[in-house]
Amino acid sequence: MQKTLLCVLLSMLLLIPSLAHGQSYCGVHKYDGTHRNELRGYLIAGDNIVTDAFYGLSVTYKRYLGNRWHVKGDMQMQFGKRLYSIDVEGGYRLPCGWSDFYLTGQLLYNRYQPWNTNETIVNLSVRWEMPYFYLRAGASLIHFHLLHFGYTEPVTLTLGGGVSIRPRWNSWNIGAFIRNYDDFYYEGYNINWGFNFHANLLSDLQLYGELNIRPAGSMSQLASKYEESLKIGLKYMW
């Protein structure tokens, strides 16, 4: 607890000079007052011990419904794995001083083509963002369907956090994270870790990337026992 309070105080102290220079937020998850729409796409490539090398692409559309609410839809295709995913999400932002709380609900569907297996996930979570770090906690309900057999896992906790070397509104940033989820899956106690970055190319165009290390998988991953992946993409805002 003392370490957490110290981090909060340090973040506040580092934030004051930025406010004094009139720096404005340029957007990671928060509506910037100008761009209501976001279109994001990335290429992903990696390797795991089951399918060996794989690659794919993902596309996301996000719409800000004012300063608090948002809706989002994602689509992913991973060739090699032959994994196809789609999800929808809705969320609400609750500002609290220099931090923000994001309450989100997500419905996710995965199709594992080689095994003719469907996976449906419902996730509810809260994300707390400060200028230099974030924490996320929540719960997922995961259901599998294979031919005439269905199975629902016990409620799975969602846990994650990350830090960055610059404030979250900076035009470029580098960070590190640890979590038990990614864009299109949630796991039990299998912890991923990695690094990410973003850099604004123009006022409405951003380059970003992420390296994700995924250790021995749980049942919700079916067969991926170890995986490394790299994402490189662009986000366009208007």
Q: Which residue range forms the structural domain that includes residue 32?
A: 26-237
Q: Give the tens place of pLDDT for each residue, 2-60.
A: 444 344 334 443 443 443 333 334 446 788 888 999 999 999 999 887 778 889 999 99
Looking at residue 216, its pLDDT comes to: 66
Bridge-partner residues for 39, per DSSP? Answer: 61, 236
Q: What is the mean pLDDT of residues 135-142?
A: 97
Please state the length of the chain. 238
Residue 17 lies in a domain: no
- pLDDT, greater one: 38 or 216: 38
pLDDT(127) > 50: yes
Residue 201 lies in a domain: yes
Residue 16 lies in a domain: no
Looking at residue 28, its pLDDT comes to: 66
Q: What are phi and psi of 153, to 5 degrees?
A: -70, 155
- pLDDT, greater one: 147 or 129: 129
- pLDDT, greater one: 40 or 221: 40
- Count up the domains in the chain and report the number: 1
**Amino acid identity of 89?**
E
Residue 12 lies in a domain: no
Looking at residue 154, its pLDDT comes to: 92
Mean pLDDT for all residues in the chain: 85
Q: Kindly report the CATH number assigned to the domain that includes residue 127.
A: 2.40.160.40
Q: What is the mean pLDDT of residues 82-111?
A: 95
Q: What is the mean pLDDT of residues 188-208?
A: 92
Looking at residue 83, its pLDDT comes to: 86
Looking at residue 97, its pLDDT comes to: 86
Residue 9 lies in a domain: no
Looking at residue 81, its pLDDT comes to: 77
Helices (H), the chain: 2-20
Residue 3 lies in a domain: no
Residue 20 lies in a domain: no
pLDDT(195) > 90: yes
Residue 196 lies in a domain: yes
Q: What are phi and psi of 191, to 5 degrees?
A: -100, 120
pLDDT band of residue 227 (cuts 50, 70, 90) is confident
The residues, any chain, with a CB within 8 Å of residue 128's CB and separated by 6 or more, are 99, 100, 101, 134, 135, 136
